[in-house]
Chain A
């Protein structure tokens, strides 16, 4: 996720070149150890994912897909068989789409303001942005529920989107701010010297340069929104406008069933995100090769 366009570090770490072979051997062992460690760490990171993918091919005997029974491809052939899970997934995607776009815009604007301008009240603004991160989700959820309830607002899609935007804005603001720090704002001046309007400058100079940060922030808030359970469960409502998101469906049903379709969907999301990453990496490699 970091932009390495301007990176000039060598691909391999510099050789120590201390005198004498023994030290070099020691160094090799040390870097081998680090490599082994990294492999083990990745195995740990991926262990549950292996289980999830494996069990997506399972035909469970009971209502819980937690014991291996026998291999089947049926789940993958009919991943949307369980209507309520599919509907919940679509709802989650809709919520995430709207919430993330708005949160990225709001948070991005705030990050721009914070990193570009000097003004009184910076500290206060920083505190207000960071405060939601120190608040436990259950408090965010229940306080929002109280707010909506007192204001007679119907709980449903809108309230869930509002809640998601709220907790994503802080993440976006911090992420973009971290990426934009050190940005050379004189580039804008240069553009305007050449006759560009502020909007055009923003569109053609500023925005493309902060785009990686914005993209990272968008992805982060998408992941957060798709996966949120606690806050969503408080504000999703129970009336006609109420919605059920994917995590809500899983959690509620978790007590009585875990259908393999859930594993299939999770595996599909996994494969999709790995695929996206692979594509991104290939493109970067090709571009680097092209530049070199």
Chain B
């Protein structure tokens, strides 16, 4: 994944880089890699006594296949919801990032800050607030009912039988809402970095602004879209609090299952196996996505 070319601006160093890296790397190794390694061992173990946290390493690879069989619906659902939320984030976030970058003018920083502000309240309280807004007695349904739009919204699948809360739509909406800043920021950065003269030149060359956008701005902003997609999709797929607070019994996501396996059933081997399968799918997905888009660095 690293850039192959030798950046002449960089120095070659022997001690210095490793000196700078070591405290951080040590931390990550000790508190991230080592625990994961422990978890991997547990994924290949069995628990002889269901009431005691003792594990025997039995190289039980069937833990992995069993987990996939058992939780296939939740896996698919999680990636489905996360994908829908990511698309929603792009649709909502891209125009907003464009607006701030190219039309924001001297208020750019303020506008960007306003995007970040909701992020500074507790995510739990925000989601609980959505429960109020989308609930039976909330403003959204009140609006739809008063203007007799329920039939339309049911047909468009925006509401399920006259309800928004406790539906998959609410879950996807909640996911999109919580992760949209992660989409807007990278896109904004990449659009803002585009040399203005390129934009001017494009506007001169192409007959419509739409073409200028399509041929110049859009392609140059793709690294931002790429980064934003990753920063949105990956945590969204693992999130389960939105599903728990805004969804129903049929919308549970894989994170919820893993949590239940750890905390309620104390079935660590299956939980660990499921976690690794989830992470593996994401990693493969990310690599494929990177190849397809032709971008190698993950940080813009």
* A contact set with B: CB distance below 8 Å: 1-2, 4, 9-14, 16, 18, 27, 30-31, 34-35, 37-38, 41-42, 44-49, 51-52, 55, 66-67, 105-107, 109-110, 112-119, 122-123, 125-140, 142-144, 146-147, 149-150, 162-163, 165-166, 169-170, 173-174, 177-178, 184-185, 223, 226-227, 229-230, 246-247, 250-251, 254, 258, 262-263, 266, 269-270, 273-274, 277-278, 280-281, 284-285, 288
Contacts and interface: CB of A to CB of B under 8 A. Distances in A.
Among A106, A143, A226, A284, max chain B CB count under 10 A is at: A143
A interface, over-half SS: helix
7 contacts: A11-B105, A110-B21, A123-B1, A133-B234, A170-B28, A229-B123, A277-B110
B279 to A, nearest CB: 6
A144 B33 CA distance: 10
B241 to A, nearest CB: 7
A49 B131 CA distance: 13
Contacts of A130: 298
Nearest to A102: B27
B16 interface: yes
Interface of B: 1-2, 6-7, 9-14, 16-18, 20-21, 23-25, 27-29, 31-36, 38-39, 42, 53, 92, 95-96, 98-100, 102-103, 105-110, 112-133, 135, 137, 177, 180, 185, 189, 192, 196, 199-200, 203, 207, 209, 231, 234-235, 237-238, 240-241, 254-255, 258-259, 262, 268, 271-272, 275, 278-279, 282-283, 286, 298-300
A122 B31 contact: no
Contact of A166 (B20, B27, B99): B27
A66 B31 contact: no
A117 B125 contact: no
Contacts of B108: 2, 4
A182 to B, nearest CB: 8
Contacts of A173: 24
Nearest to A143: B35
Contacts, number: 278
A146 B39 contact: yes
Given A52-B129, A67-B137, A106-B27, 5 more contacts: A31-B103, A135-B238, A138-B238, A178-B189, A229-B241
A1 to B, nearest CB: 6
A38 B95 contact: yes
B interface, over-half SS: helix
Among A31, A117, A129, A246, max chain B CB count under 10 A is at: A117
Given A110-B24, A128-B25, A166-B28, A185 B11 contact: yes
A137 to B, nearest CB: 6
Given A37-B95, A51-B133, A139-B275, A106 B23 contact: yes
A82 B130 CA distance: 24
Q: Which 3 A-B pairs have the closest CB atoms?
A: A136-B238, A143-B35, A48-B129
B300 A178 contact: yes
A247 B117 contact: no
B139 to A, nearest CB: 9
Given A142-B262, A178-B189, A169 B133 contact: no
A248 to B, nearest CB: 10
Contact of A119 (B13, B128, B203): B13
Contacts of B53: 149
Contact of B209 (A30, A66, A136, A185): A30
Contacts of A12: 105
Among B116, B132, B200, max chain A CB count under 10 A is at: B132
A146 B47 CA distance: 15
A124 to B, nearest CB: 9
Contacts of A13: 102-103
